[in-house]
Amino acid sequence: MGLLSEGSPLSWEETKSYADHVRKHGVKQFINQYRKLKDRQKDVLYWGDEVEYMLIRFDHEKEVVQLLLKSTELLSSLQKQNLESKANAQILWHPEYAQYMVEGTPGSPFGCLMAHLNLVEANMKLRRESIGKLLKTGERIASITAFPRVGCPNFTYPSYKPNPTPSGCSSSLFFPDEAIHSSHPRFKTLTRNVRLRRKEKVAINIPIFKDKNTMSPFLEDLSIYGDNGESQNAAKPDHIYMDAMGFGMGCCCLQLTFQACNIGEARLLYDHLAPICPIMMALSAATPIYRGYLADTDCRWSVIVQSVDDRTREERGLEPLKHDRFLINKSRYDSIDSYLSEEGRCYNDLQLVYDKEIYEELMAEGIDDLLSQHIAHLFIRDPISLFEEKINQNDSTDTDHFENIQSTNWQSLRFKPPPPGSNIGWRVEFRPMEIQLSDFENAAYVVFIVLVTRAILTFKLNLLIPISKVDENMVTAQQNNAARLGKFYFRKDILTVNSPPEAAECVGCCERIDEKYTLMTINEIINGKEDFPGLVPMVNKYLDYIECDVDTRCTVLQYLKLISKRASGELLTMAQWTRQFVTNHEDYKNDSVVSDKINYDFLMECDKIAYGEHDCPQLFFKYHSRTRDNIPAAVSKAEANLNRKIYAS
């Protein structure tokens, strides 16, 4: 979930009183870093994934599965193992929002050699094994985006009662504070401060999937959970209502970060990946169930957006602006609002909310308007947590205040400046994807995006469409079965580089922008059609072009086949397969309810599929990806040589 600062958290009132201080110094820190690093060149491609896992516990006698609140204990064992082993750690472990989550990343990022594409799946396997060794009978890890019965009575092990009073962090009717990660105060502090800043509990409403026996209108009596009326007011009819940050931030997702050769390339990739975000979200859709009810949406996105929405009523436009500074169109977790590269300029059609003073300060430093706007946009937010020890910093060497704001703007893409005092370059993080059941699938999605970035750079692909259309696509992407049925705005001609007028000062090209895109299905976007090349064929063209070695090609072929078949509808998304599982279950009463027994059977099946004990031909085929252990020696040797060269240079 971003930066983890150690220390003693300030109260919300204190944090709020330092908001201007944090912003003022955060901007100075960015400017100082920018001056040092803007001309940094020739960084090579490095990339790495982040997989978030859920810890679960099966009680086979009672046929119940619960979320296991054990991350503190597991993380300390895993991190101790890393310290004790003399070799470089192959995996890094990070705490995540929930006490039932852990995050695993490769010990060091993968490099620019194509053979490295073989390593990620093996590393993911190793992560499962490393945790698996520390678990007791019945305890498992699952890479699922949302636990179907999160927020239902006794959904955790051990089980706790939620504390709906103002003394609780979430004050939730459903999500106990004990389910929030506890070894670091950051997570509980964020939870409390989002609620206090907003001056209400967060309110999450997701359309329920209405089946023939679903109560109609669907509206629960929330007084039985101890509601004082606030929740009943916030709950919308025919929606699944949730009231805690944990429902969103307690979801697992699949992210990847890659390094660009310089800031210009990072800005370019950031922009051209923006239109890919909704496409990959729909293609990775995995969350049709919340709080024990089938939803009419397939993705987590809107749940997380609502789960950390700390905007006040004034900022949301429900009351005239009196105490607050801005009317803000989005939650601090949402899709990006502007392109950063010169090519993207004409496609920035959203009214960007940004801090004018900060913008002027950045411009006065010679930072261009697009980047200045981007930073000034991030800085409309208040710091949502602050640690006493971090108040006073050296702006020429520290970046904590900058990171404080940057890392709590949870957007579909993140533009990451190099950390101070490191040899890390400008990076972009791709954040919209949902997690998949198996290592094979997760590796496939990650590798596909890495290769799409290579194709974008090599063939100078142009994927830009108006950013407002990307937002419309984000909504479409979450709809029930969007991967098969959704129509998405996409650029018609991705092969022609922007003509100069479009790239330089806009000379009327903005007016012709509506001719540049059309509606397409995911199948057309990924696999192509008569007048559109398709992303998988472009990636294949790239692999031909670089004369990719046979073993890597064999691995990648399996990955591309998965992406391609998911897009064509020949294979189901996790979300669609989950729906089928539930609605075909003998205990399902056509009332949208996912009972304890259905949940148990579902997660048992997921476990068997993830560990290769059951085939699931609806989700994926028998694959032959080569992982670390079966990469032939020749490839390993090439890799060793290259590493030697990189480290020597």
436 binds Mg ion (CB under 5 A): no
Q: Applying CB under 6 A, which of residues 94, 184, 210, 553 lies at the interface with ligand ADP?
A: 94
Min dist CB 254 to Mg ion, Å, is 10
424 binds, among ligand ADP, Mg ion, none (CB under 5 to 8 A by kind): ligand ADP
Min dist CB 225 to ligand ADP, Å, is 33
Chain positions 413 to 432 lying near ligand ADP, rule: CB under 6 A, are 424, 427, 429
Min dist CB 631 to ligand ADP, Å, is 19
Chain centroid, CA 23 distance in Å = 25
259 binds ligand ADP (CB under 6 A): yes
- Residue number with the shortest CB distance to Mg ion? 337
Q: Applying CB under 6 A, which of residues 9, 95, 106, 288 lies at the interface with ligand ADP?
A: 106
Which residues face 520 on adjacent strands? Answer: 488
Stretch that binds Mg ion, among 230-238, 265-273, 297-305, 330-338 (CB under 5 A): 330-338
Answer whether 596's CB lies under 8 Å from 64's CB.
Answer: yes
Stretch that binds ligand ADP, among 103-111, 351-359, 605-613, 623-631 (CB under 6 A): 103-111
Q: In 3D, which of 3, 85, 28, 15 has the Cα closest to residue 396?
A: 28
Alpha-carbon span 501 to 482, nearest angstrom: 36
Give counts: helices (H), strands (E), the chain: 23, 17
109 binds ligand ADP (CB under 6 A): yes
Helices (H), 506-632: 522-527, 535-545, 550-568, 574-583, 596-610
Stretch that binds ligand ADP, among 253-261, 265-273, 448-456, 600-608 (CB under 6 A): 253-261
Min dist CB 473 to Mg ion, Å, is 16
Using the minimum distance from each CB to ligand ADP, give the nearer residue, 254 or 464: 254
155 SS3 class: coil
Answer whether 114's CB lies under 8 Å from 642's CB.
Answer: no
Q: Applying CB under 6 A, which of residues 147, 258, 488, 581 lies at the interface with ligand ADP?
A: 258
Q: In 3D, which of 577, 619, 251 has the Cα closest to residue 432?
A: 251
* Cis status of the peptide bond prior to 9, with omega within 30 of 0: no
Stretch that binds Mg ion, among 43-51, 132-140, 523-531, 539-547 (CB under 5 A): 43-51
Alpha-carbon span 409 to 389, nearest angstrom: 22
Stretch that binds ligand ADP, among 40-48, 148-156, 539-547, 631-639 (CB under 6 A): 40-48
399 binds ligand ADP (CB under 6 A): no
- DSSP states along 460-481: T------HHHHHHHHHHHTBTT
Min dist CB 127 to ligand ADP, Å, is 12
337 binds Mg ion (CB under 5 A): yes
Answer whether 425's CB lies under 8 Å from 418's CB.
Answer: yes
Answer whether 297's CB lies under 8 Å from 586's CB.
Answer: no
434 binds Mg ion (CB under 5 A): no
- Residue number with the shortest CB distance to ligand ADP? 48
170 binds Mg ion (CB under 5 A): no
Which residues face 47 on adjacent strands? Answer: 110, 258
Stretch that binds Mg ion, among 82-90, 247-255, 276-284, 506-514 (CB under 5 A): 247-255
Question: How big is the site for ligand ADP, counted in residues (CB under 6 A)?
Answer: 17
49 binds ligand ADP (CB under 6 A): yes
- Tell me which amino acid residue 136 is: K
Chain positions 427 to 456 lying near ligand ADP, rule: CB under 6 A, are 427, 429
460 binds, among Mg ion, ligand ADP, none (CB under 5 to 8 A by kind): none
341 binds Mg ion (CB under 5 A): no
337 binds, among ligand ADP, Mg ion, none (CB under 5 to 8 A by kind): Mg ion
* Cis status of the peptide bond prior to 207, with omega within 30 of 0: no
Using the minimum distance from each CB to Mg ion, give the nearer residue, 50 or 400: 50
- Tell me which amino acid residue 274 is: A
Chain centroid, CA 330 distance in Å = 17
33 binds, among Mg ion, ligand ADP, none (CB under 5 to 8 A by kind): none
417 binds, among ligand ADP, Mg ion, none (CB under 5 to 8 A by kind): none
Encoded one letter per residue, x for contact with Mg ion by CB under 5 A and - for no contact, window 102-131 reads -x----------------------------
255 binds Mg ion (CB under 5 A): yes
Answer whether 252's CB lies under 8 Å from 286's CB.
Answer: no
Chain positions 1 to 20 lying near ligand ADP, rule: CB under 6 A, are 2
Helices (H), 250-298: 263-273, 276-283
Question: How long is the chain?
Answer: 649
Q: Measured between alpha carbons, how far apart are the two ends of the chain, in Å? A: 33
Chain positions 50 to 79 lying near ligand ADP, rule: CB under 6 A, are 50
Stretch that binds Mg ion, among 98-106, 305-313, 490-498, 535-543 (CB under 5 A): 98-106
96 SS3 class: coil
Alpha-carbon span 615 to 514, nearest angstrom: 45
Answer whether 145's CB lies under 8 Å from 300's CB.
Answer: yes
Min dist CB 586 to Mg ion, Å, is 37
Q: In 3D, which of 459, 460, 470 has the Cα closest to residue 503?
A: 460
Q: Applying CB under 6 A, which of residues 30, 34, 46, 301 lies at the interface with ligand ADP?
A: 46
Stretch that binds ligand ADP, among 122-130, 256-264, 368-376, 454-462 (CB under 6 A): 256-264
Alpha-carbon span 531 to 392, nearest angstrom: 58
Question: How big is the site for Mg ion, counted in residues (CB under 5 A)?
Answer: 4
Answer whether 266's CB lies under 8 Å from 415's CB.
Answer: yes
Min dist CB 427 to ligand ADP, Å, is 5
Q: In 3D, which of 290, 310, 199, 302 has the Cα closest to residue 242?
A: 290
Answer whether 49's CB lies under 8 Å from 421's CB.
Answer: no
How many beta carbons lie within 10 A of that of residue 146, not counting itself? 26
95 binds, among ligand ADP, Mg ion, none (CB under 5 to 8 A by kind): none
502 binds, among ligand ADP, Mg ion, none (CB under 5 to 8 A by kind): none
65 SS3 class: strand
Residue numbers of the site for Mg ion (CB under 5 A)?
50, 103, 255, 337
Residue numbers of the site for ligand ADP (CB under 6 A)?
2, 46-50, 94, 105-106, 109, 255, 257-259, 424, 427, 429
